[in-house]
Chains A and B, each alone.
Chain A
Amino acid sequence: MTAPALTDRPAVAEPRARFRDLLAAEWTKLWSLRSTYWTLLLSGLAVIGLNVNAAVADHHNWPRYGADIRAIFVPIWAMRDAFTQVAGLVLMLAAGSVGAITITGEYGTGLVRTTFSAVPDRRSLVTAKLIDVTVVMLGYGAVVAGTSFWATQAILSGRHAGISIGYPGAFQAVAASAVLAPVCALIGMGLGAIIRHGAATMVITTAVLLLLPFCFTDHYRWTADIEHVLPASAWQRLIDVGYGRFGFPVRRPTTTTEAWIALALWALGAALVAITVVHRRDV
């Protein structure tokens, strides 16, 4: 063969790599998928609808409620209308799915090879993805939780049975419900990074978020401890404005601080797992 023409091309001139370009790139990727819009829109409407429906039912049934129920309707029942169990499950499932898909969508389609050929610095790329998803899901959670609270309490106020955001614990409940979305999304991302397969990730994410709480009771101290740190239970604790009061004793109590820490650790742990696993493994 002839000698290569080495003088033809000098070394590559390249602008400095910036993290914010990765944030922008992953933002583009997130919003260029229709499934992102649809999942957020439909699940958001479902969550708000389920909560509003509970408030409407209570509004309707109010005349039949006895004095005992009316006595503790504010805050216990009022808050349970704002954030019903089933709406919480829907929110956790939707958020977990959105998070999981951002990772499994890369691995499942093979896009991940294109992605990492363009950005060999995988840790930065995954970090950018984690931040983008967190921002989007925090916004989603804030809108859904805020709307749920405002709409349900507006309806209940027709019976003078609503509470305001200034009520002790009310803001914390709204904040915890908003934060629940990004926490679950990050858990989905962490599991997605480990499992990679879309359907399997969904099954495991559902199990961790929704089924695990049923596996641990407050029968023993240690089972109660495990139960308390599960994301669903921590959220329950934070929206329970009547915790331990109004004649509902708690056998093995936990604090709101512990619940917040549990949510934070889940988010942080999942993010670290995603970054580490993606960095280490072949694609």
Chain B
Amino acid sequence: MRGGPGPRHRWPVIEVSGLTKRYGPKTAVNGLTFTVRPGHVTGFLGPNGAGKSTTLRMILGLNEPTSGTAAVAGRPFRDRPRGLRHVGALLDAHDVHGGRTAYAQLSALARGNRIPRRRVEEVLREVGLAEAARRRVGGFSLGMRQRLGIATALLGDPPVLLFDEPINGLDPEGVRWVRGLFRRLAAEGRTVFVSSHLMSEMEHTADHLIVIGRGELIADESLAAFAARGTPQSVTVRTPDVASLTAVLTAEGASVRPDGDQALTVTGLSAARVGELAFRHRVPLHELAARTASLEEAFMELTAGSVEYLAGDVR
């Protein structure tokens, strides 16, 4: 179904409404509704197989939704004759022909979109591939291909940018560069939508998060609000005398959970308080550490019920 929700926004907003995609009996994306706004880096998170790539493909008009709509700046993307000036996308760094040079690949794309040739050299310089421009892409490392994909996305200087797992294969310098780039693009007022299955990537990049699992929306909120969902603060403590310490801490109203052989996870008491109590009751401690809830944990907890592919059958 195409047609879109009508021109509600002429601004570079991505609007997804009731988006659903079924492949036979399998529902890849189920009734997704969210809006991605300009001026922010929005993280698109979910475990592997959650439907992130399928959603991005539907936004780009590559896959037709079973029902629902996806619009960019008020129009389904497929209704536009040319795309690069509207949306820049890096879906998969391997979506290139290994037999062409980076320069040839970008030149052809630029030509089809009436983008001047000097822009090709500009973006190649920007992503650090100026030296490798005349080499065939088949010989590129994954990191170089990611850079080429980013160059492709930037080619039309678009107000909306989509990146599917852009960090994969980048070296630490590349990761830092990409984060800076995303922030800069957002600061310029663009809509930047970045998918990942790793929360830790988003922690340093995104202002806003859209989290999905099994094709359904789990969270759509700011990074701060998301972080607050994490497990309450806890203390990890190691002692050779687990029994005594458990008794002491429980008496103080803490909830104590064994965490391995000689360790306890304590919630409801600060690390300082645990230390004081142990000292007063002469229980020897080998380790005492406060644990802050990480975004990674918040993410794991939130998506725990919707992990598609789980290694082994632990849990």
User: What distance in Å separates the Cβ of B87 from its nearest Cβ neighbour in chain A?
Assistant: 7
Select from chain A the residue with minimum beta-carbon distance to B10. A11
Assembly CA distance A118 to B190 (angstroms): 18
Assess whether A9 is in contact with B86, with CB atoms less than 8 Å apart: no
Assess whether A6 is in contact with B11, with CB atoms less than 8 Å apart: yes
Q: Tell whether A4 pairs with B38 under 8 Å between CB atoms, given A28-B111, A283-B63.
A: yes
Assembly CA distance A105 to B39 (angstroms): 37
Assess whether A109 is in contact with B97, with CB atoms less than 8 Å apart: yes
Contact of B85 (CB < 8 Å), options: A12, A18, A105, A106: A12
Assembly CA distance A157 to B39 (angstroms): 78
Select from chain B the residue with minimum beta-carbon distance to A28. B108
User: What distance in Å separates the Cβ of A192 from its nearest Cβ neighbour in chain B?
Assistant: 14
B40 within 8 A of A: yes
Assess whether B83 is in contact with A24, with CB atoms less than 8 Å apart: no
B171 within 8 A of A: no
Number of A interface residues in the complex (CB < 8 A): 43
B265 within 8 A of A: no
How would residues 113 to 134 of chain A score, 1 for a CB under 8 Å from any chain B CB and 0 otherwise?
1111111110011000000000
Interface residue ranges of B184-217 to A (CB < 8 Å): 188-190, 207-208
Assess whether B159 is in contact with A283, with CB atoms less than 8 Å apart: no
A26 within 8 A of B: yes
Assembly CA distance A9 to B188 (angstroms): 8
Select from chain A the residue with minimum beta-carbon distance to B103. A32
A15 within 8 A of B: yes
Interface residue ranges of B205-244 to A (CB < 8 Å): 207-208, 222
Assess whether A283 is in contact with B104, with CB atoms less than 8 Å apart: no
Interface residue ranges of B71-91 to A (CB < 8 Å): 73, 77-87, 89, 91
A29 within 8 A of B: yes
* B interface residues with partner A (beta carbon < 8 Å): 10-12, 37-40, 57, 60-64, 73, 77-87, 89, 91-92, 94-101, 104-105, 107-109, 111-114, 152, 158-159, 188-190, 207-208, 222
Supply 14 further A-B pairs (C-beta < 8 A) apart from A4-B39, A114-B96.
A1-B207, A5-B39, A6-B38, A9-B11, A17-B82, A17-B114, A24-B112, A28-B108, A32-B104, A33-B100, A109-B94, A111-B95, A121-B81, A283-B57
